[in-house]
Amino acid sequence: MSETITIKTSEEIEKMRAACKVTAQILDDVHEIVKPGISTEDINTFVHELTLKLGAIPAPLNYKGFPKSVCTSVNEVVCHGIPSEKEILKEGDIINIDVTSILDGYYGDASRMYFVGGKKACTSKAIHLVETAKKAMDIGIQMVKPGNRIGDIGHAIAHYVNGLGKNYGIVRDYTGHGIGNVFHELPQVVHIATKGTGEVMQPGMTFTVEPMINEGTYKTVCSRTDGWTVWTKDRKLSAQWEETVLVTETGVEILTKSKIY
């Protein structure tokens, strides 16, 4: 993390737009291959090759020792799942695919949920969790405009999720983050917060909003074996969506916006 929040120049914003466009395209295109019977390694190969084809670099590869080009987090995996040829997707799984691309030195970071075998193959519980996480992200992003504070995002998310009365857990151990010519920078964007706290948003700031919502407890555990895979402590389902956003003069621009959803 850098020491202060960076305000991007218009040249930097153009580079962020371009990097984020690559990330969004990869997430749109990978949809086509997510089917029962493929492995998460197949997703890694697809993302790796398409990233290079688009002239970009996959940021996760070798980032603090992460061994693959994308994070694939299935069912009770909260985040940072490592693709493996041994992990075969099956009907009814839910999977988060988290892509970060570096183009011309700037980073675009986003993730989406995919229903393996389509929505019809998944339980209503899984569908509700996935849709809640999407709505939580959207509601958080709606708070992004100059003069609002970073804590307003987490307040809006928590107000929505807790108001559902489902006892869903909002993950505290991992947060959104500033992003630019480094992967993770200030501000830290927590997904459960008090209104009016945190830094004041200013035009030119770029950061992610990436709430992880659990079916049960908010608590997580990280694998001691691989050092990366994060599970829900109670092994219930988890869902996450992520966008990279820009604070504009009047509000927000979603830089990683999908062309298909």
User: What residue ranges bind Co ion (CB under 5 A)?
Assistant: 98, 109, 208, 242
Q: Which is nearer to ligand MF3, 122 or 243 (CB)?
A: 243
What sign does the CA torsion over 193, 64, 130, 180 have? positive
With binding defined as CB under 6 A, does residue 185 bind ligand MF3?
no
93 near ligand MF3, judged by CB under 6 A: no
CB of 208 to ligand MF3, least distance (A): 6
Judged by CB under 6 A, how many residues of this single chain contact ligand MF3? Answer: 11
Rounded to whole angstroms, the Cα distance separating 184 from 165 reads 33
Which residues make Cβ contacts (< 8 Å) with residue 166, sequence separation at least 6?
128, 132
Does position 87 interact with ligand MF3 (CB under 6 A)? The reply is no
Does residue 12 contact residue 87 with C-beta atoms inside 8 Å?
Answer: no
Instruction: Please give the Cα distance from 115 to 35 (Å, whole number).
Output: 9
Please say which residue, 60 or 154, places its beta carbon nearer to ligand MF3: 60
User: Residue 60, preceding bond cis, omega within 30 degrees?
Assistant: no
42-71 residues near ligand MF3, rule: CB under 6 A? 60, 63-64, 66, 71
> Which segments within the chain are labelled E, that is strand?
57-58, 71-74, 77-79, 94-103, 106-115, 169-170, 176-178, 185-189, 206-209, 212-214, 220-222, 230-232, 238-240, 243-247, 252-254
Beta carbon nearer to Co ion, 101 or 208:
208
Pick from 210, 231, 232, 255 the residue near ligand MF3 by CB under 6 A: 210
x-marked contacts with ligand MF3 along 218-257 as a string, rule CB under 6 A: ------------------------x---------------
Place of tokens 């990279």: 244
| Contact between 160 and ligand MF3 per CB under 6 A | no
Q: Which residues bind ligand MF3 (CB under 6 A)?
A: 60, 63-64, 66, 71, 80, 98, 100, 109, 210, 242
